[in-house]
Amino acid sequence: MSTREIFDSRIESGLLLLPTLLVTVVFLYYPTALAFRTSFFDSSFGRAEVFVGLENYVELLTSSGYHQSIIISVVFAAVVVGGVVVVSLYLTFLIHEVDTGQGLYLISVIWPYALPPAVGALVFLFITHPTLGVLTGPIESLGVEVDWFNNGSQAFVVVALAAIWKQIGYNVIFMIAAMNNVPDTLTETAELDGVGGLRRLVSVYIPIMTPTIFFLVIINTIYAFFGTFAFVDLLTSGGPSNATNILIFNLYQEGFSFFNFGIASAKSVVLFVIVGVLMFVQFQITDKYSYYGG
């Protein structure tokens, strides 16, 4: 390999790799291994760890509250991933179709992505707050009583909307690049044939964009399971009545509110396995249905 010749010796290349290796080992692999180990212990502050074998896992398997959290997480992920992809595709298409001011539309769609999640959550709180929210009045004038501090379904919808709104920017960046890569002549052929706009999006653009879309589905899935913590924490704290208590928030509470490190570790291992299996399934589907150029 010619790239090896850049460095004089293995020691030099090793030294240059060291910072990256150190960071990943110290902050990723070591904690992962530790969490896996802790999941077999009864562990908390101020007392010695006791090995309990699979007891933590047995407790999770038999806890109806945890089962509910899994179901909520999966439904939440499905809604968020589906919502993000559909809305982003449509917005991308609209931006793709405008001739002037494309940059302006793009910025207005992307900016929520540039916010830190906590700030995004607070912004959304002020948009939809049951008494103070700027959108609350208009929505209530449609005959819907906004009461998501007490209404579980409404809370779920609000958190999901916030999560979707935050992630659209990221998706649009990739989608607009992919859509702009579709040769103009295909668009022009469709125009000459009288193929309508939405039909063109669904039958021409989306199939050609599948590699990008599948990549985004995977990223969005990870986001829905892990990256939406701030919204749950700041908007609902998992409530009301655990209606928005998704796995990532559930395990945070277990570990850092109740200080049951053993159970929390077991929960993070379960979450890891669930997301891992989903990734595997998605990759299988990706390879089967993606169109990769040619």
Partner 1 sequence: MTTVTLHNLRKEFDDVVAVNGIDLEIIDGEFLVIVGPSGCGKSTTLRLLAGLEDATDGEIVMDGRDVTAVEPKDRNVAMVFQNYALYPHMTGRRNITFGMKSSGDFTDEEIDRRVEEAAETLDIADLLDRKPQAMSGGERQRVALGRAIVRDPDAFLMDEPLSNLDAKLRIQMRAELAQLHTSLGTTTVYVTHDQTEAMTLGERVVVMNDGRIMQVDEPQTLYDFPANRFVAEFIGDPAMNMIPVDIENGTAVHDAFTIQLPNADGGVRNGVKEGGDASIRDGQRAVLGVRPEDLYMATDRPDTGDETLNATVNVTEPLGDSLLLHCSIGETPCKIQAKARSEIRPDDTVSIAYDPARLHLFDPESGDALYHSESYASSESAAAAADHG
> Considering only CA atoms, which of 155, 161, 126 is closest in space to residue 241?
155
> Contact letters (x/-) for partner 1, 129-168, by CB under 8 A?
----------------------------------------
The C-alpha atoms of residue 225 and residue 282 are separated, in whole angstroms, by 15
C-beta of 191: minimal distance to partner 1 in Å?
5
Q: Which is nearer to partner 1, 65 or 196 (CB)?
A: 196
Q: Which is nearer to partner 1, 5 or 184 (CB)?
A: 184
> Contact letters (x/-) for partner 1, 183-222, by CB under 8 A?
x-xx-xxxxxxxxx--x---xx--xx--------------
C-beta of 107: minimal distance to partner 1 in Å?
24
- Cβ neighbours, 10 Å, residue 196: 10
Is 107:191 a contact under the CB 8 Å cutoff?
no
C-beta of 136: minimal distance to partner 1 in Å?
43
How far CA 145 is from CA of 122, 135, 141, in Å, comes to 21, 12, 9
- Beta bridge pairs of residue 51: 41
Segment near partner 1 (CB under 8 A); pick from 27-35, 121-129, 179-187, 242-250: 179-187
Segment near partner 1 (CB under 8 A); pick from 20-28, 57-65, 182-190, 262-270: 182-190
The C-alpha atoms of residue 96 and residue 175 are separated, in whole angstroms, by 10
Mapping DSSP to helix (H, G, I), strand (E, B) and coil, where does residue 258 land? coil
Q: By CB under 8 A, what part of segment 275-294 binds partner 1?
A: 291, 293-294
> Considering only CA atoms, which of 168, 175, 78, 74 is closest in space to residue 124?
168
What tokens appear for 157 in the block? 């919808």
Is 215:67 a contact under the CB 8 Å cutoff?
no
- Residue 74 makes contact with partner 1 by CB under 8 A: no
Q: Which residues bind partner 1 (CB under 8 A)?
A: 183, 185-186, 188-196, 199, 203-204, 207-208, 291, 293-294
